[in-house]
Structure 1
């Protein structure tokens, strides 16, 4: 059994692929059954989508907390410590509770699964579900990892499901078309439980609507059952069965307005008697680290890990810093289609810098570099050296935009925290 938290996390971080070869979710159900089905003791709101699910979850959390609710959240990835993935009212699970539940799971795995551990993400999901069942929560918010139908979080029956966006990502696992990927994400929709949808792609939206209809699940789609009206500046109005005017966000970008609208709708379905002013107060506080996060005055961190996210990032840069020259730094995992993202950045950049992170699934700097057609492109094996050298010579009219995998953003952000650049 694990004696120290570092021993525990070092071990579970290595669980990249499941050793348990049973049916999908089978190991989770076996373990949960032994635990007394903790997933049945908590109310949930479940989030899936290619982009925006983390920001939307965070906004829902702020709204519900502003109304006095005790809110659990399971998110990924973490930025510094695995504990950040499991929180209650934004406070991470303690080392003692993490270690206690991890050892509880390890004993069950030894006895019931012949010691064949499930994946890291599934293990973390089980820690979260057990921990939430022990707390006096009003609701827990769950963010899927990949997909939805076979995701380890899909052992719950939520009060509300949320599907933010659909883009062509993880095509080796989820399918090569919008319809196939939408079918996997729509797997979180449950019978007679409402679903909130921000998906714009017509092919994907049709699949989600059909799934909802087949399950007698009420569907609330942005632009159909609820709307946003942009005001001058960054303010917007939210319109549905309730109207909230002049909402200001802590997050910038049109995509964040969409995320906020999804969050208001999901929160309102869970808590019908919402106060408009409390919603506005909450959204002014709803910041999400690593998503268009400004460091100093000329460095932006943004986990734009697919083409849809990259397009939103570039659109936000054009609107917030139209006269700045942009230098991109990009590192990513192999299981993504980088070509479109790199093409979009090539068009917007004055310089392109490619680097890599020390993960087994990481794309090499050379692999990314070769996909760029930019006249001023550079390849770096050591991202820390790259940042030190390039930030030293950054001009006043330039922006340094660090983007790609959220795992890369987490590592960079951790370095900036140590340097005192981020509190």
Structure 2
């Protein structure tokens, strides 16, 4: 099957998260029975490699990518499965290269992706014909099956799997993880997971196994209780990642440095700090910005130590340092430097963040507080209709309110635009939410126009913050990277 045909086949399976759980065949109930039947028809590829399964509301992708980078740096043939993607669907499925060719995690090639979609689709079609399955698998079930097959075919020694939704009934939970990891839990997807932290946490704790291992950090009291109750019932051994947290805050780069003056590096800085681990000092230098990432880095390191100590994986402290340093996870407080336009004007840098729920919005708000207060700011915002748009705007828009009377905010702007998704909030819905807050805004018909408008109103010494949806960040990132040539930008950072 050609790559384009594979994309069309997956698209025919419906949206990744259909509203109300409905499909063309009627109501689809969440169940592991379908992915298990499909996996069995494919030869149970998920049983041919050990897995680490990571659930949570926020931070699970950052934790997964950091852990996979550590494993790759240690020379482990590692598979990484994450969702959703920013720009290309291949991003979801990656495998590290052999030790002699480096430790990077590379996307599944188009040709192999096409052949595996055909293999999964053929198996599913036969199961439907035999009435083993009542209907074709969902988009996410099919993608998960493709990842299982690819990892098995590639002979991965360890798979790092990010849960798509919840945990208990997520397709990734078809594996038998050697370690389960639970990141921070908050309110999201409540129509699927429940309307309380306790209910949501219980769904996430569905990735735990009898006599298994859980790596986590203390968090919301209700979440701690719900997870702890299930862990005790299953006789799970808990690993507290708190010892892998730093005792000090991140160290921002020197604003007088050459790269900072050229605005090539983010003013938010990298996470740099030292940890004492088993009597040795571990030097942490992560490209993932923001204090909140320290919790995700801690979870990844604690899991790596558990893999080394109790599961036979040779992961040195040096590999942990290199893996953390080499982590690639775009769209998370990602800094895109200024660009030089054809007319000679320098356009402001972009800060891309996929904050797509209230907890993510608060985390972004905290990170923005680290910016120089006099830096002019423009917000490009959009989100999905199913998200609490009013609450997210209440968190973020006041930081860009040019009518607030704060002289530092007098030059700020807000630009709203719909995203390319059937689940997107309409421009009218976004505008109505902004009017409730009485914050001035501009409206754009689509994301490229929103970026152009933001660049037009933001001075070169300012910043454009793009956030509210993974779909928005993915679309904006594609447009921005096609235009940016940071090496041609003169130093302007003295205005910070």
Q: Normalised by the shorter chain, which TM-score bucket?
A: over 0.9
SS state at 1:161 partner: strand
Aligned partner of 2:74 in structure 1 is: 67
Work out which of the residue numbers 294, 306, 310 in structure 1 matches 2:335: 294
Whether 2:376 is the aligned partner of 1:376: answer no
Aligned partner of 1:113 in structure 2 is: 128
- C-alpha separation in 2, matches of 1:226 and 1:257: 9
- C-alpha separation in 1, matches of 2:475 and 2:177: 32
Superposition TM-score, scaled by structure 2 size: 0.80
Displacement of 1:142: 0.7
Whether 2:233 is the aligned partner of 1:182: answer no
What is the correspondence of 1:329-340 to structure 2 with a 5 Å cutoff?
329-340=380-391
Displacement of 1:198: 3.3
Cα pair 1:416 1:422 within 8 Å, conserved: no
- C-alpha separation in 1, matches of 2:65 and 2:304: 11
What is the correspondence of 1:357-376 to structure 2 with a 5 Å cutoff?
357-372=419-434, 373-376=437-440
What is the correspondence of 1:296-335 to structure 2 with a 5 Å cutoff?
296-297=337-338, 298-335=349-386
Whether 2:109 is the aligned partner of 1:94: answer yes
Q: How many residues align?
A: 420
Displacement of 1:221: 3.2
Superposition TM-score, scaled by structure 1 size: 0.93
Displacement of 1:382: 1.7
Work out which of the residue numbers 443, 449, 455 in structure 2 matches 1:385: 449
- C-alpha separation in 1, matches of 2:398 and 2:60: 27
Displacement of 1:49: 1.1
Structure 2 gaps of 5+ residues are: 97-104, 252-270, 339-348, 401-411, 488-496
Cα–Cα, structure 1 residues 400 and 103, in superposed 2: closer, same or farther, change >3 Å?
A: same
Structure 1 gaps of 5+ residues are: none
Deviates further, 320-329 or 87-96: 320-329
- C-alpha separation in 2, matches of 1:218 and 1:241: 20
Deviates further, 312-321 or 67-76: 312-321
Cα pair 2:420 2:471 within 8 Å, conserved: no
Displacement of 1:271: 2.1
- C-alpha separation in 2, matches of 1:300 and 1:334: 23
SS state at 2:274 partner: strand
Whether 2:285 is the aligned partner of 1:248: answer yes
SS state at 2:466 partner: strand
Cα pair 1:351 1:374 within 8 Å, conserved: no
Displacement of 1:261: 0.6
Whether 2:190 is the aligned partner of 1:171: answer yes
Cα pair 1:161 1:195 within 8 Å, conserved: yes
SS state at 1:363 partner: coil
- C-alpha separation in 1, matches of 2:274 and 2:175: 33
Aligned partner of 2:304 in structure 1 is: 267
SS state at 1:196 partner: strand
Cα–Cα, structure 1 residues 413 and 230, in superposed 2: closer, same or farther, change >3 Å?
A: same
Q: Cα RMSD (Å) of the superposition? A: 2.1
Cα pair 2:5 2:114 within 8 Å, conserved: no
Cα pair 1:300 1:400 within 8 Å, conserved: yes
- C-alpha separation in 2, matches of 1:121 and 1:345: 31
Cα pair 2:168 2:203 within 8 Å, conserved: yes
Deviates further, 393-402 or 406-415: 393-402
Cα pair 2:80 2:160 within 8 Å, conserved: yes
- C-alpha separation in 2, matches of 1:390 and 1:250: 26
Whether 2:40 is the aligned partner of 1:33: answer yes
Structure 1 runs (4+) greater than 6 angstroms displaced: none
- C-alpha separation in 2, matches of 1:28 and 1:119: 9
Aligned partner of 2:470 in structure 1 is: 406
Cα–Cα, structure 1 residues 311 and 214, in superposed 2: closer, same or farther, change >3 Å?
A: same
Cα pair 1:291 1:301 within 8 Å, conserved: yes
Aligned partner of 1:56 in structure 2 is: 63
What is the correspondence of 1:130-141 to structure 2 with a 5 Å cutoff?
130-141=149-160
Displacement of 1:47: 1.0
SS state at 2:80 partner: strand
- C-alpha separation in 2, matches of 1:339 and 1:196: 34
Cα–Cα, structure 1 residues 252 and 276, in superposed 2: closer, same or farther, change >3 Å?
A: same
SS state at 2:228 partner: helix
Cα–Cα, structure 1 residues 106 and 309, in superposed 2: closer, same or farther, change >3 Å?
A: same
Displacement of 1:91: 1.4
Cα–Cα, structure 1 residues 288 and 194, in superposed 2: closer, same or farther, change >3 Å?
A: same
Work out which of the residue numbers 213, 219, 222 in structure 1 matches 2:232: 213
SS state at 1:401 partner: strand
**Once the two structures are superposed, what CA deviation does each residue of 1:384-411 show, in whole Å capped at 9, x if it has no partner?**
1121122123113421100111121111
Cα–Cα, structure 1 residues 283 and 378, in superposed 2: closer, same or farther, change >3 Å?
A: same
SS state at 1:228 partner: coil
Work out which of the residue numbers 399, 416, 421 in structure 1 matches 2:480: 416
